[in-house]
Amino acid sequence: MNKPLPNSYRQGPDSQGRFGQFGGRFVAETLMPLILEVEQAYEAAKRDPSFDAEWRRLLTHYVGRPSPLWFAERLTAHLRANSAREDLGAKVYFKRDELNHTGAHKINAVLGQILLAKRMGKTRIIAETGAGQHGVATATVCALFDLPCTVFMGATDVERQQPNVFRMKLLGAEVMPVTSGAATLKDAMNEALRYWVANVEDTYYCIGTVAGPHPYPVMVRDFQSVIGEEAKQQMMAAEGRLPDSLVAAIGGGSNAMGLFYPFLDDADVRMYGVEAAGHGVETEQHAASLTKGRPGVLHGNRTYLLQDAHGQITEAHSISAGLDYPGVGPEHSWLHELGRVQYVSATDDEALAAFQLCSKLEGIIPALEPAHALAHVIRMAPQLPRDEIVLMNLCGRGDKDIFTVAKHLGVEM
Amino acid sequence: MSRIAAKFAALKAEGRGALVTYLQGFDPDRETSLALLRGLPEAGADLLEVGVPFTDPMADGPSIQRAAQRALKVGATLPGVLELVRAFRAGDGTTPVILMGYYNPILAYGVDRFCTDAAAAGVDGLIVVDVPPEEAGEIEPQARAAGLDLIRLVAPTTDDARLPRVLAATSGFVYYVSITGITGTRSATAASLEEAVPRIRKHTDLPIAIGFGIRTPQQAGEAARLADGAVVGTALVDTLAASLDEEGRARPETVGLVLEQVRALAGAVRGR
Ligand SMILES: Cc1ncc(COP(=O)(O)O)c(C=O)c1O
């Protein structure tokens, strides 16, 4: 009874917040008591059926879950036409989290975290954001619950994600542009942590991915796992079996963990996390922490990081603001070292091509983040047997990206 | 006895608290940084904290963030900072030196080798901001084996239930972070310090130094009387920064201006 399965990949983290050597709680003493408080509150909330019921009510009636499982028929046909043989070209499905209210998967975990913040009696919410999707989701839920909200966003991202900046302001949030470093997601997270240290009494920090100090990686994963749980049931209903491959983009890794986690112990399901290769992983301009980084400690956890020989963190680059981060959630580092998940990458150009192909073939304009996942599907599916199934997390829609994409395509708007 | 323990014992005999200064290593360049370190003891600094530059100093405010940027721009690295301490130590065998920084550069260096090399360079203690007692296993055994003190931060948020755990993991002295906040942003009230210091004393015999937010000689004097030491960082870094030219390079007066400020702080700590 309750004995851990010897071969389960779903046991982590341990009581110290470790997935193998990864994870942990590397924060300054001022924050440590608060991190412990969040952990206790989360453990208590998990055991409280009314917490789960309220979260699920909001997912159904506010977010619009379950998100559909979509057989991408035209894309599948297109990739089959590009395959070398008659018997190649796997069937491609999308898990359509881009249809969620606010346009991405981020809101799944935001709702859970804001409900937790309320339980903890916190009266003010802060968040970091890259693409602005997590910022918009947080601002949205704060509007719903009448909580003041401050979103930290790198000045570079404020520039390239203007529509989301305006959305956050419309929703009543304060957007704080961060100018330190390269002024992107890493710097926004530094600044959010600094603000939190100074406002521990009343403030809850709503982290947007499976990173940060324990319990954030496990908590955000648990909330995002609704994606994989639904997908598993939907796939059984549609095909009577599990998919052969899962594919998801990796920024911090929350949409990927959410899809992968419920399948981790299904040995026949292969998994691919797609990092942003920017201008190419052989250049200095990419965000492929697992492909090119080394383990280190940043933002409260031990994980793979882009860093120089002396442990200084190097700047990431990606066309996608949501993937432009030099680290990755610790559970991914662990799954990478165990070899349970394959981590690959896609360049800016490959993502742009996938973005356009998806728009034309499926009538779905994807966000640039899942466009990276799609780029890998486009490479992979034509090589796979025709009777295989590939399930990709289409975790966000591309409205926020049309200006960026137009600029790259040389279109004046 | 370690240099840190010896220094606090000597000051206790003198009947006064310590002035602890913080400057970032290599800010704004190696030579200026070394000249500052060499000048500090004579100007009245009792213990020296040397900040190890890091790209992402999570607990530091804008002044020290910029100091780190300046230092990194001139090529500061952890091995470079150790070499800086070695050069200082060649001319000063008694003033305690404490490295303060973040964990990742130490991890990149290799924790074992770092502790051995730091002790050999003449470092006496470490403050690793992002390694709380919960993660002590990461570096405590190695630091102890090398004879380095591991100085822990105690914050206003460290409650009585947690305090013994934090203090048990501390050696050398206790660094009381007097505000909930990052460096260089605000100052604690005298009343909050008067409450906090006895609260910590109840749990430890180690010397207590108060840091974060001490800027003026008056504040330093009060903190050094109330506790066993006052740490001044951002105020010195600000003076240094204000003395630089447009390109962020030292001017001839840079070292003198910082040391002059240290003299004023030292005077107040000595009750003058
Ligand atoms: C649509 C979308 N996908 C993916 C990401 C990357 O985050 P994660 O890897 O945590 O899913 C973001 C982040 O902003 C996003 O907006």
Please state the domain count of chain B: 1
Angle at A389 between CA A385 and CA A395, to 5 degrees: 135
Q: pLDDT at position A5, please?
A: 53
Q: What is the pTM of this model?
A: 0.97
CA distance linking residue A287 with residue A326, whole number of Å: 6
Q: Which segments in chain A show pLDDT lower than 50? A: 1
Per-10-residue mean pLDDT of chain B, 272 residues long, equals: 96 97 98 98 98 96 96 98 98 98 98 98 98 96 98 95 94 94 86 92 97 95 97 98 97 98 98 82
Would you say domain A65-103+225-408 falls under CATH 3.40.50.1100? Answer: yes
Kindly give the interhelix angle for B78-89 and B111-121, rounded to the nearest 10 degrees: 20
Chain A, 163 to 182: residues with Cβ < 8 Å from chain B are 180-181
Q: What is the pLDDT of residues A183-204, one digit of tens each?
A: 889 999 999 999 999 999 999 9
Q: pLDDT at position B187, please?
A: 87
CATH number at B48 reads 3.20.20.70
Q: pLDDT at position A131, please?
A: 86
Taking a C-beta distance cutoff of 8 angstroms, is the pair B230, B57 a contact? no
From chain A, pick out residues whose CB is under 8 angstroms from the CB of B130: 26-28, 297, 300
- Between the CA of A40 and the centroid of ligand 1 the distance, in Å, is 27
Q: Is A251 in the pocket of ligand 1 (CB under 6 A)?
A: yes
Q: pLDDT at position A364, please?
A: 98
CA distance linking residue B219 with residue B264, whole number of Å: 12
Fold (CATH) for A19-61+106-220: Rossmann fold (3.40.50)
Domain ranges of chain A: 19-61+106-220, 65-103+225-408
Q: For ligand 1, atom 6, name the residue with the nearest CA.
A: A251
From chain A, pick out residues whose CB is under 8 angstroms from the CB of B107: 295-297, 311
Phi-psi region of B184 (alpha: psi -120 to 50; beta: other; left: phi over 0): left
Chain B, 39 to 68: residues with Cβ < 8 Å from chain A are 53-62, 65
User: CB-based contact (8 Å) between B159 and chain A?
Assistant: yes
| Set B49, B124, B140, B238: catalytic member | B49
Q: pLDDT at position B272, please?
A: 75
Which structural domain range is residue B226 located in? 3-269
B248's CB contacts (< 8 A; 6+ apart) are B28, B70, B73
Q: pLDDT at position B152, please?
A: 96
Residue B2, judged by CB atoms within 10 A of its CB (0-12, 13-18, 19+), counts as: middle
CA distance linking residue B39 with residue B255, whole number of Å: 8
Q: What are phi and psi of A356, to 5 degrees?
A: -75, -40
Q: pLDDT at position A6, please?
A: 55
Q: Is A134 in the pocket of ligand 1 (CB under 6 A)?
A: yes
Q: pLDDT at position A3, please?
A: 52
Cβ contact (<8 Å) for A310 and B109? Answer: yes
Taking a C-beta distance cutoff of 8 angstroms, is the pair B57, B111 a contact? no
CA distance linking residue A184 with residue A315, whole number of Å: 9
Token pair recorded at residue B163: 């305090």
Taking a C-beta distance cutoff of 8 angstroms, is the pair A248, A395 a contact? yes
**pLDDT over 70 for what percent of chain B?**
100
Angle at A127 between CA A122 and CA A129, to 5 degrees: 170
